[in-house]
């Protein structure tokens, strides 16, 4: 038994015939007025978007300035610790370089195994990934808390 969609009563009716009263041709002036109105709406939307972006930039820069100010206060309150953070960051940067050399040697030596086997790739990532991520994080924190040599020389003058 086949289904015939025309056997069902219509749920609604759409009139697609042209009605000269409702959809008659618009005059050239009406089209231009509509275009000008749409362009004004676009400009208003762009103005609002620009205002929101300026507010967002202002808010982000205010947070950044506050963070820089707080770090500067901390460094001035803890000059000895800030210098030690610098020394520690430099030492860990050397450690990181050696670690990266070992990591890259491992990749070069096991290139085919890493390409062919997912197990070897997972082992590699498990072995090196967390250590590298944590080391980067520690170095970044120490570098932010440290006194840079240029600013230290300026403070000593």
Query: Where do the structural domains in the chain lie, given as residue ranges?
Result: 30-77, 79-157
Q: Is the pLDDT of residue 153 over 60?
A: no
Q: Provide the pLDDT for residue 157.
A: 45
- Mean pLDDT of all residues in the chain? 85
SS3 13: coil
Compute CA distances 6 → 1, 10, 13, 16, whole Å: 15, 8, 13, 19
Please state the pTM of the whole predicted model.
Answer: 0.57
> What integer is the mean pLDDT of 136-140?
95
Above pLDDT 90, what percent of the chain?
Answer: 62
Closest of 133, 114, 111, 112 to residue 122, by C-alpha = 114
Q: Is the pLDDT of residue 80 over 70?
A: yes
């Amino acid at each position: 038994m086949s289904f015939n969609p025309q056997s069902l009563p219509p749920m609604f009716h759409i009139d697609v015939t042209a009605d000269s009263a409702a959809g008659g041709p618009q005059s050239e002036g009406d089209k231009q007025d509509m275009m000008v109105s749409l362009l004004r709406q676009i400009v208003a939307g762009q103005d609002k978007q620009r205002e929101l972006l300026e507010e967002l930039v202002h808010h982000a820069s205010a947070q950044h300035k506050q963070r820089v100010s707080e770090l500067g206060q901390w460094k001035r309150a803890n000059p000895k610790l800030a210098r030690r953070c610098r020394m520690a960051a430099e030492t860990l940067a050397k450690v990181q370089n050696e670690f990266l050399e070992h990591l890259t040697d491992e990749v070069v030596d096991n290139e085919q195994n890493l390409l062919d086997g997912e197990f070897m790739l997972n082992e590699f990532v498990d072995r090196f990934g967390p250590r590298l991520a944590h080391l980067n994080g520690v170095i970044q924190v120490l570098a932010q808390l440290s006194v840079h040599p240029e600013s230290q020389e300026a403070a000593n003058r």
